[in-house]
Amino acid sequence: MNTATSDPSSTLLENLPSLLPKLEALYKDVHAHPELSMQENRTAALVARHLLDYAYEVTTEVGKTGVIGLLRNGEGHTVMLRADMDALPVREASGVDYASTVMATDAAGNTVPVAHACGHDMHVAWLMGAASLFSQRREAWRGTLMVVFQPGEETAQGARAMIEDGLFTRFPKPDVVLGQHVMVGPAGTVAGSAGPITSAADSLQIRLFGRGAHGSMPQASVDPVVMAAAIVLRLQTIVSREVAATDAAVVTVGVLQAGTKENVIPDEAIIKLNIRTFDEGVRKHVLAAIERIVNAEAQASGAPRAPEITPLDRYPLNVNDKQASDRIAEALRRHFTPDRVRHTGPAPASEDFGCFGSEWNAPSVYWFVGGTDPDIYAKAKAAGRINDLPVNHSPFFAPVIHPTLQTGVEAMVAGALAWLAK
């Protein structure tokens, strides 16, 4: 930690070393007890109790399971810090001694394994740490801190649910909205940039209709499996042949479901796919191309009915405000050594964080914190094998606790103090 007197966070962070053991225990507890999107009841209760212990005005059940804490400390700016709380339907294989063994019932009624394979448990611990420090050292800052623990980020429900539950009318409008995410990268480093920082995302379900028959009599069928296979292959040509090399897009088919028995040609097939883009024009073109390809293939196959294309969820493009990003970058460079603050381009991952700033008409900034053991990352980079490292949503993903935990708390504090310092 940089303790130069020019760094306004140095006073506020003096209590962090003594707080870290408690934060580590909280992190391991949340990691071992993950909860699916919009089911974060245990995590929300844990957060609410923590905030009450530190004298925050606490409001629970915002957008179903969201928690908001307000700490008013005189006249000044209002800063919103956000952390997401939900986990994924993934069976953890990280091997850590606090790994999740939780099973839960998802929204469709299925029993699924649950794990914090995206790092939201780390986000919760970071924000709980920052909230604690601001409460302990009020003499070091002025204004209002609003900490938001959001449900349902993984399903693009949570930010929208909080907004629809009166977030904009029940709580003070922030002068800036700040958030961060643990990602693959050397632990102890932070990275960000102005402009687009995470992609827009659209998820679709395509239902294809065929005509079932015996597996030995394909001439009596309209085979939706063949139809689906042709569509999956053709969809990959959208990015390679319809999107300019100077633009960026990703089209991923994550689900292909059809049939129940090897000698029965089914009468339906389901495709679920995900699209990531950084430009609205590119987004519209990709969506139109998907519709064109799906309908054309169904027609070419002689399908008895036109396909059904159903939107599943959508994440907006997340754009960092230029002036606020410059202010954050300056604060982080002042606090950390220069080699720990890096510039990064936009990530293909998606977030509903951007809804808060864009719809509240407030500047927002989102950045990344490395969570990979620095030695492991350096060796992988030297060998040209960074892509072999477990990424977010992998069953093997588990950030190294130290120095990731401390770095994230410090970054949140330094960022918020860019507006709240006296």
**CATH classification at residue 360:** 3.40.630.10
Q: Is 181 annotated as a binding residue?
A: yes
The answer to whether residues 170 and 58 belong to one domain is yes
Reported as a single tens digit per residue, the pLDDT across 270-279 is 999 999 999 9
CA dihedral 360, 181, 251, 306 (to 10 degrees): -50
**CATH classification at residue 280:** 3.30.70.360
309 touches 204 (CB < 8 A): yes
Q: Is 120 annotated as a binding residue?
A: yes
Task: Determine, yes or no, domain membership for 409.
Answer: yes
Q: Which residue has the higher pLDDT, 8 or 20?
A: 20
Reported as a single tens digit per residue, the pLDDT across 173-198 is 999 999 999 999 999 999 999 999 99
Q: Is 154 annotated as a binding residue?
A: yes
Mean confidence (pLDDT) of the chain: 96
Is residue 421 very low, low, confident or very high in pLDDT (cuts 50, 70, 90)? very high
Q: Is position 14 annotated as part of the catalytic site?
A: no
The catalytic residue among 7, 84, 202, 223 is: 84
The answer to whether residues 48 and 153 belong to one domain is yes
Task: Determine, yes or no, domain membership for 276.
Answer: yes
Into how many domains does the chain fold?
Answer: 2
d(CA 403, CA 391): 18
The catalytic residue among 92, 154, 202, 410 is: 154
64 touches 114 (CB < 8 A): no
Is residue 151 very low, low, confident or very high in pLDDT (cuts 50, 70, 90)? very high
Q: Where are the alpha helices (DSSP H) in 222-320?
A: 224-242, 280-301
Q: Which residues of 88-125 are buried (b: 16+ CB within 10 A; e: fewer)?
A: bbbbbebeeebbbebeeeeeeeeeebbbbbbbbbbbbb
Does 422 score more than 90 pLDDT?
no
209 touches 268 (CB < 8 A): yes
The answer to whether residues 32 and 67 belong to one domain is yes
The answer to whether residues 167 and 247 belong to one domain is no
CA-CA-CA-CA torsion sign (207, 210, 214, 215): negative
Task: Determine, yes or no, domain membership for 4.
Answer: no
The answer to whether residues 346 and 237 belong to one domain is no
d(CA 318, CA 326): 16
Q: Is position 40 annotated as part of the catalytic site?
A: no
Percent of the chain's residues with pLDDT above 90: 96
The answer to whether residues 123 and 176 belong to one domain is yes
Does 338 score more than 90 pLDDT?
no
Type of residue numbered 202: D
The answer to whether residues 76 and 211 belong to one domain is no
Percent of the chain's residues with pLDDT above 70: 99
The alpha carbon of residue 260 and the mean position of all alpha carbons in its chain are separated, in whole angstroms, by: 34
- Bridge partners (DSSP) listed for residue 202: 275, 314
The answer to whether residues 342 and 366 belong to one domain is yes
Q: What is the token pair recorded at 12?
A: 């506020």
128 touches 26 (CB < 8 A): yes
